[in-house]
Structure 1
Amino acid sequence: MNITDTSDLWWKSAVVYCLDIETYMDDNNDGVGDFAGLARRIDYLADLGITCLWLMPFYPSPDRDDGYDISDFYGIDPRLGNHGDFVEVIRTAKDRGIRVIVDLVVNHTSDKHPWFVSAKRSRDSFYRDFYVWRDEPPANEQPTVFPGEEASVWEHDPRTDQYFQHVFYKHQPDLNIANPRVRDEIVKTVGFWLALGVSGFRIDAVPFLIEPPDGVDLGDPHDFLRDLKRFLQRRSSDAALLGEVNLPFAEQLDFFGGERGGELDLQFDFMSMQALYLSLARSDPSALRESLAARPAVPDGAAWANFVRNHDELTLDKLSDAEREEVFEAFAPEEYQRVYGRGITRRLPPMLDGDPRRIRMVYSLLFSLPGTPVLFYGEEIGMGENSDVPGRGAVRTPMQWTDGKNGGFSQTSPGRLVAPMPGDGYSPEHVNVLKQRNDPDSLLQFIRHLIRRYRVSPEIGWGELELFETSADGVLAHGVLSPLGRMIALHNFTAVPVRTRVEIGAVEEGTMLLDLHGPERMALDVSGRVELELAPYGFRWLRVSPPGDTRIG
Structure 2
Amino acid sequence: MAWWQKATVYQIYPRSFQDSNGDGIGDINGIIQRLDYLQNLGIELIWLTPMYVSPGRDNGYDIADYYHIDPIFGDLTDFERLLNEAHKRGIKIMMDMVVNHTSNQHHWFQESLKGKDNPYHDFYLWRDPVDGQAPNNWLSKFSGSAWEYVPALDQYYLHLYEKSMPDLNWRNEHLRAEIFKMMQFWADLGIDGLRLDVINNISKDKHFPNDTFQTPSDDGRNFYTNGPHVHEYIHEMYEKVFGPNQFVTVGELSSTPIDEAIRYTNPAREELSMAFTFHHVKVDYTGGKKWTLGAYRLSDLKRILSDWQTGMAAGGGWNALFWANHDQPRAISRFLDDGQYRDQSAKLLALVEFGLQGTPYIYQGEEIAMKNANFTAIDQYQDAESINAYHQMLSDGIDEALAIKILQQKSRENCRIPMQWDQTAHHGFTTGTPWLMPVVHDNYSVATKIHEPSSVFAFYQKLVQMRKTMPILIEGDYQLFEPEDEAVYTYQRHLDTETIRVMANFTGQTQVRTMPNVKEVLMDNYEQPQFDGQQITLRPYEAIMMRV
TM beyond 0.5: yes
Are 2:262 and 2:317, in contact at CA under 8 Å, matched by a contact in 1?
no
Which stretch shifts more, 98-107 or 494-503? 494-503
1:516 aligned to 2:503? no
Give the aligned partner of residue 364 of structure 1: 351
Report how far residue 12 of structure 1 moved.
0.9
Q: 2:255 aligns with which of 234, 247, 251?
A: 247
Return closer, same or farther for 1:290/1:302 CA change in 2, 3 Å cut-off: closer
Report how far residue 177 of structure 1 moved.
0.6
CA distance in 2, matches of 1:223, 1:75: 28
CA distance in 1, matches of 2:60, 2:154: 29
1:537 aligned to 2:546? no
Could you tell me the TM-score, scaled by structure 2's length?
A: 0.80
Return closer, same or farther for 1:472/1:28 CA change in 2, 3 Å cut-off: closer
Q: How many residues align?
A: 481
1:223 aligned to 2:232? yes
Give the aligned partner of residue 323 of structure 1: none
Q: Which secondary structure state, in structure 1, belongs to the residue aligned with residue 519 of structure 2?
A: strand
CA distance in 1, matches of 2:26, 2:431: 11
1:95 aligned to 2:88? yes
CA distance in 2, matches of 1:70, 1:170: 13
Give the aligned partner of residue 140 of structure 2: 144
Are 1:454 and 1:460, in contact at CA under 8 Å, matched by a contact in 2?
yes
CA distance in 2, matches of 1:196, 1:259: 25
- AA of the residue aligned to 1:517: M
Report how far residue 89 of structure 1 moved.
1.0
Are 1:166 and 1:172, in contact at CA under 8 Å, matched by a contact in 2?
yes
1:58 aligned to 2:45? no
Report how far residue 257 of structure 1 moved.
5.5
Give the aligned partner of residue 427 of structure 2: 407
1:264 aligned to 2:272? yes
CA distance in 1, matches of 2:239, 2:313: 19
Q: 1:204 aligns with which of 197, 203, 218?
A: 197
Report how far residue 410 of structure 1 moved.
1.4
Q: 2:416 aligns with which of 381, 396, 407?
A: 396
Give the aligned partner of residue 480 of structure 1: 493
Q: Deviations over 1:158-189 (max 9, x none)?
A: 22221111111110111101100111111112
- AA of the residue aligned to 1:423: V
1:112 aligned to 2:105? yes
Q: Deviations over 1:102-160 (max 9, x none)?
A: 1110111111111111110122212111111111155532222122xxx2111111222
Which stretch shifts more, 394-403 or 482-491? 482-491
Matches within 5 A, 1:7-22: 9-22=2-15
Q: Deviations over 1:458-491 (max 9, x none)?
A: 3223333122349976322212233595422111
CA distance in 2, matches of 1:370, 1:15: 12
Q: Which secondary structure state, in structure 2, belongs to the residue aligned with residue 87 of structure 1?
A: helix
Report how far residue 423 of structure 1 moved.
2.8
CA distance in 1, matches of 2:129, 2:3: 48
Q: Which runs of 5+ in 2 are unaligned?
A: 210-222, 287-293, 387-411
- AA of the residue aligned to 2:371: G
Which stretch shifts more, 64-73 or 243-252? 243-252
Q: Deviations over 1:65-105 (max 9, x none)?
A: 10111011111111211112111111211221211101110
CA distance in 1, matches of 2:510, 2:97: 46
Q: 2:435 aligns with which of 418, 430, 438?
A: 418
Give the aligned partner of residue 467 of structure 2: 454
Give the aligned partner of residue 348 of structure 1: 332
Give the aligned partner of residue 294 of structure 1: 307
CA distance in 1, matches of 2:208, 2:230: 13
Q: 2:320 aligns with which of 300, 305, 322?
A: 305
CA distance in 1, matches of 2:332, 2:423: 21
Q: Which secondary structure state, in structure 1, belongs to the residue aligned with residue 200 of structure 2?
A: helix
Report how far residue 350 of structure 1 moved.
7.3
TM-align CA RMSD = 3.1
Matches within 5 A, 1:275-294: 275=283, 285-294=298-307
- AA of the residue aligned to 1:64: R
Identity %: 31
Could you tell me the TM-score, scaled by structure 1's length?
A: 0.79
